[in-house]
Amino acid sequence: MKTLSQIDSLVYELINKETARQEDGIELIASENYVSKAVMEAMGSCLTNKYSEGYVGKRYYGGNEIIDEVEALAIERCKELFGCEHVNVQPLSGSPANAAVFFATIKPGDKVLGLQLDHGGHLSHGHPVNFSGMLYNFTQYQVDRESGIIDMEKVREIALREKPKMILAGFSAYSRNLDWKKFKEIADEIGAITFADIAHIAGLIAGKAIESPIPYFDITSTTTHKTLRGPRGAVIMCKEPFAKAIDRAVFPGMQGGPHDHATAAKAVAFGEALQPEFQVYAKAVIENAQAMAAELMAAGFRIISGGTDNHLMVVDVTSKGISGKEAERILDIAGISTSRSTIPFDSRKPMDPSGVRLGTAAITTRAFDTADSRAVAQAIAQAIENHGDEAKLKSIRESILELCRKRPLYTSIV
Ligand SMILES: *Cc1c(COP(=O)(O)O)cnc(C)c1O
């Protein structure tokens, strides 16, 4: 960034500081990851200069011959990676992608069934403060109070009673595999459209570490920046009969010009995810999460659903006498980034809930193994148990820094 350093030292310095923060801290925010330098270079390219409203071969602006090739390549790689019939690679992010899916398939006021936010769902799955909850008539399913797991018989019961036009399966804070086939069977009983939102787990699916909904579901959306390890953005995949409606909903329905530099970076990320090493990565992400969960449970923490099948876990920290917000703050002091999280049937408020959500996608990218993951879990337990002891927190921060120096970020990613 030689030019930036000379032209705008203020922004350059801020980026430098953030680089150091990422290098020297442990990133356990479950929705985050570190992209490759190749993805960053595509993001930083001159493709950001172009306007390309429309689709490959059908643009509303001239000069799109090369952009057409870029977008066609992203589409081709995404299809190969996920085995989908159709894909739109233009959605700017996950929430707008979901808006486009609703816009393409249902009408305002129509009934949709989705997972409740504080049970692991996402804002765009029908929460009252989100457009989804304002425009559509959402009914929500929950996890079982005892097991912390989604009870498919309950989902079926609600579906048969409420007869939604669409069933939405997907989550931001749920650590178990979903039974895609069962969701599809339930939807077929009532003639509902099936919509999977794999924003969190797309990388694990692409890496063939967990099952894909794509063979079963009508429509699947995903962000590209979480476990998939691409640029900020999203894609919508669907069966051929939905292709036209999805494309029209994205443009001209929802968006103007696509972000061509992001499209190029998505193509790069899909290319990386098609390499055999990405399957090794996806498997390691889950192994690290399971090692971390086991270590935390051994230290006396309650993990919702008793463990994890994916990259994330929701930890109830109230048994250690602190709230999720307080845990987030203490772990920050120790050099560990996490996000506070509600737990199912939480008696505390969303701004200061009972849990923290942890994920291993980012640390696995910087080559942390299961022993490192266990060490991180021990540091978390130590920090929370000694949350009033400043000297102890400081010494934990030192050990975290040592671990980060052992697994440097920008030399381990290529
Ligand atoms: C992250 C996420 C989204 C939203 O993605 P943004 O890019 O932040 O808008 C949508 N759905 C689920 C399930 C998510 O986890």
Indicate the SS3 state at residue 222: strand
User: What are the C-alpha distances in Å from 398 to residues 25, 391, 410?
Assistant: 11, 11, 20
pLDDT at 307: 98
Question: Is 344 close to ligand 1, i.e. is its CB under 6 Å away?
Answer: no
Among 137, 141, 146, 211, smallest CA distance to 178 is for 211
CA 85/CA 82 separation, integer angstroms: 9
Is domain 284-411 in CATH 3.90.1150.10, yes or no? Answer: yes
User: Following DSSP, what letter does each residue of 141-206 receive, concatenated?
Assistant: E-B-TTT-SB-HHHHHHHHHHH--SEEEEE-SS--S---HHHHHHHHHHHT-EEEEE-TTTHHHHH
CATH topology of domain 40-273: Aspartate Aminotransferase; domain 2 (3.40.640)
- State which H helix or E strand residue 313 sits in: strand 312-316
Probe residue for ligand 1, chosen from 90, 95, 178, 341 as the CB with the greatest number of ligand atoms within 8 Å: 95
Which atom of ligand 1 approaches the CA of 198 most closely?
Answer: 13
Whole-model pTM over 0.85: yes
pLDDT at 1: 86
Domain ranges of the chain: 40-273, 284-411
Residues 197 and 102 sit within 8 Å (Cβ to Cβ): no
Ligand 1 centroid distance, CA of 125 (Å) = 10
Probe residue for ligand 1, chosen from 122, 131, 222 as the CB with the greatest number of ligand atoms within 8 Å: 122
Per-residue pLDDT tens over the stretch 190-208: 999 999 999 999 999 999 9
156 burial class (0-12, 13-18, 19+ CB within 10 angstroms)?
Answer: middle
Question: Is 310 close to ligand 1, i.e. is its CB under 6 Å away?
Answer: no
Question: Is 318 close to ligand 1, i.e. is its CB under 6 Å away?
Answer: no
Q: Which two tokens stand for residue 296?
A: 């935390």
pLDDT at 410: 81
Among 169, 165, 173, smallest CA distance to 155 is for 169
Question: Is 199 close to ligand 1, i.e. is its CB under 6 Å away?
Answer: yes
Q: What angle do CA 17, 20, 22 make, to 5 degrees?
A: 110
CA 212/CA 170 separation, integer angstroms: 12
Question: Is 122 close to ligand 1, i.e. is its CB under 6 Å away?
Answer: yes
CA 319/CA 317 separation, integer angstroms: 5
CA 96/CA 241 separation, integer angstroms: 21
pLDDT at 413: 58
Q: Which two tokens stand for residue 166?
A: 């669409």
pLDDT at 414: 58
Q: Where are the alpha helices (DSSP H) in 251-339?
A: 260-273, 276-298, 324-333
Spell out the per-residue pLDDT of the chain, length 414, in tens.
889 999 999 999 999 999 999 999 999 999 999 999 999 999 999 999 999 999 999 999 999 999 999 999 999 999 999 999 999 999 999 999 999 999 999 999 999 999 999 999 999 999 999 999 999 999 999 999 999 999 999 999 999 999 999 999 999 999 999 999 999 999 999 999 999 999 999 999 999 999 999 999 999 999 999 999 999 999 999 999 999 999 999 999 999 999 999 999 999 999 999 999 999 999 999 999 999 999 999 999 999 999 999 999 999 999 899 999 999 999 999 999 999 999 999 999 989 999 999 999 999 999 999 999 999 999 999 999 999 999 999 999 999 999 999 999 986 655
Residue nearest to atom 12 of ligand 1 (CA): 199
Catalytic residue among 51, 110, 320, 369: 51
Q: What angle do CA 94, 71, 88 make, to 5 degrees?
A: 40
Ligand 1 centroid distance, CA of 353 (Å) = 20
- Annotated catalytic residue 23: no
Catalytic residue among 53, 68, 151, 369: 53
Q: What angle do CA 97, 216, 101 make, to 5 degrees?
A: 20
The residue length of the chain stands at: 414
Residue nearest to atom 8 of ligand 1 (CA): 94
Residues 275 and 69 sit within 8 Å (Cβ to Cβ): no
Sheet harboring 234-238: ordered strands across?
A: 86-88, 234-238, 219-223, 193-197, 166-170, 111-115, 137-141
> Phi-psi category of 271—alpha, beta or left, where left has phi over 0 and alpha has psi -120 to 50?
alpha
Ligand 1 centroid distance, CA of 3 (Å) = 34
pLDDT at 220: 98
Q: What angle do CA 409, 413, 414 make, to 5 degrees?
A: 145
pLDDT at 412: 61
Report CA torsion sign: 342, 308, 231, 212: negative
Among 58, 39, 2, 68, smallest CA distance to 272 is for 39
